[in-house]
Amino acid sequence: MNSLVEENYLKALFHLSKNGKGEVNVKDLSKHLEIKMPTVNSMMKKLAEKDLVIYESYKPLRLSEKGIIKASLIVRKHRLTEMFLVEKMGFGWEQVHEVAEQIEHIQSPLFFDKMDEILNYPKVDPHGSPIPDKEGNFEIVNYKKLAEFKKGDEVEICAVIYSSEDFLKYLNSKDIQLNDKIKILDLEEFDGTMTVEFSQKENKIETFSNHVTLRLLAK
């Protein structure tokens, strides 16, 4: 059994390494967790001893196969919890992260398997991120960023990359939700400002600045 702190390190490595498949610099991990580098190095040595991390001095970090599975199961608990809070308890998608951060450390696979069953085995969380199964496997879908599309394209909002509370509240203020269908009416080449039409919401027209479109995924 890993400690709460160890689980937080594993989850951070999982996200920074793009689902455990890439390398992570100690400096980037230190910055992400807001923890000093000597402390991070000390923890990496500890996790390496448990065969969860591949660690060599002055080289990028990698999760081991065992570490990837362990980290993905922590992510599973977090994302299932977020979905449960939204679907069964009426939380907004902008409210669930901090609660899920606490619940994800419960050491009972049966608890989360029952949550999964109650939710009818969802594939994604409220933000569109994939939920690993109880073996730690999950489907990776290569969506495109909204900013990659052009004028005249019709797309579906499938996920958000950036899920901070402030950003999700901003999307709420624009009445933007997952699975919304939109048509790109105009695109300003200078700064990426995009005017779109919500075909499912009485042809509502909105204008997005570049920093918003870069954080939406669509297909």
pLDDT tens per residue, range 137-187: 988 878 888 888 888 888 888 888 878 888 899 888 888 888 888 888 888
Reported as type and span, the H/E element at residue 181 is: strand 181-187
**Superfamily assignment of 144-218 in CATH?**
Ferrous iron transport protein A (FeoA) (2.30.30.90)
pLDDT, tens only, 126-135 = 999 999 999 9
In angstroms, the Cα distances linking 48 to 44, 153, 182 are: 6, 48, 47
Pairwise CA distance, residues 113 & 133, whole Å: 9
Q: In whole angstroms, give the CA distance from residue 99 to residue 78.
A: 9
| 162's tokens | 């950036």
Integer Cα distance of 17 and 25 in angstroms: 9
Task: Indicate where the chain has its CATH 1.10.10.10 domain(s).
Answer: 1-140
Q: Is the pLDDT of residue 8 over 90?
A: yes
Residues 29-80 have pLDDT tens digits of: 999 999 999 999 999 999 999 999 999 988 999 999 999 999 999 999 999 9
Q: Which fold has domain 1-140?
A: Arc Repressor Mutant, subunit A (1.10.10)
Alpha-carbon distance of 127 to 101, in angstroms, equals: 15
Sign of CA dihedral 123, 125, 129, 132: negative
User: What is the model's pLDDT at position 58?
Assistant: 85
Q: What is the dihedral of CA 33, 131, 219, 207, to 10 degrees?
A: -50
Residues of the chain with CATH 2.30.30.90: 144-218
Q: How many residues does the chain have?
A: 219
pLDDT of residue 212: 46
